Amino acid sequence: IRERRRQQNVNGAFAELRRLIPTHPPDRKLSKNDILRLALRYIHFLDRLLVDQEDGGLQGPIRGPDSGRSITGPRGAEGRVPISGAAERDGVMLAAPRFPPPGEKAPASDSLT
């Protein structure tokens, strides 16, 4: 019973982490290893995004998901780069305008690959 409860807790934690990682398609089946790797990439991406915003702009291009083209558009307020639709950076699919503020859960429909 103890081991089953421990495994349920681990699986529950992975399920919650999976919900926080946006993927495309949203219902894509991921292994625990994939979840951890994508979480690391997503955290790294968000860290770089914050650093870029603090520096007043992008340090590297954000690639569009459909063609790999760079999106370097004009800076918006507070040094943020406005992005409509999804974008990709470091292999991470990002729907920028839909990210919740820190501490809130991401809706299950947000996506990352």
pLDDT tens, residue by residue, 76-95? 333 333 333 345 544 445 44
CB neighbourhood size of 62 (10 A): 23
Residue ranges per structural domain of the chain: 2-98
- Is residue 95 a contact partner of residue 110, using CB atoms and an 8 Å limit? yes
Task: Give residue 104's pLDDT band: very low, low, confident or very high (50, 70, 90).
Answer: low
Q: Which residue has the tokens 């859960």?
A: 105
What's residue 57's pLDDT?
Answer: 64
* Average confidence (pLDDT) over 53-61: 69
In sign, the C-alpha dihedral spanning 34, 37, 39, 45 is negative
CATH hierarchy code of domain 2-98:
4.10.280.10
- Is residue 107 a contact partner of residue 88, using CB atoms and an 8 Å limit? no
- Is residue 18 a contact partner of residue 42, using CB atoms and an 8 Å limit? no
CB neighbourhood size of 86 (10 A): 20
